[in-house]
Amino acid sequence: QVQLVESGGGSVQSGGFLRLSCAASGYSWDTYCLAWVRQAPGKEREGVATFESHGETNYAASVRGRFTISHDNAKNTLYLQMNDLKPEDTAMYYCAAALPAHYSGRYYLRSLDYNYWGQGTQVTVSS
């Protein structure tokens, strides 16, 4: 059974940083797309970043240059380093996965067509 468990959320001031983690377990596919998705109150879910099994990454324009997605194969853990946080980054952040992945990371970033989701971790940025 696939499980995605997020951690690392919290409250920071504008300009601060946080690192989110997503511990993944229960799968063995060679091709996958892991991702971070966020949802702010009253808004639709938004793709933040993707990490494909061959190492390619993709980012939403709103976070490019500030956020970095990475994956530790040994620990099977996905990370999101978030720097220069802004109040508009406030949201529930979800780890998501397409297992196996049939399409590109760009497709998943736009479509959010993931078959596994974590429970989410809250990030709050105050001005």
pLDDT > 90? residue 42: yes
Contact between residue 94 and residue 80 where contact means Cβ atoms under 8 Å apart: no
pLDDT at 28: 76
- What is the mean predicted confidence (pLDDT) over 47-65? 97
Burial 60-92 (b: 16+ CB within 10 A, else e): beebeeebbbebeeeeebbbbebeebeeebbbb
E strand segments, the chain: 3-7, 10-13, 18-25, 33-39, 46-52, 57-59, 67-72, 77-82, 91-98, 116-117, 121-126
**pLDDT at position 53, please?**
95
Percent of the chain clearing pLDDT 70 (strictly above): 100
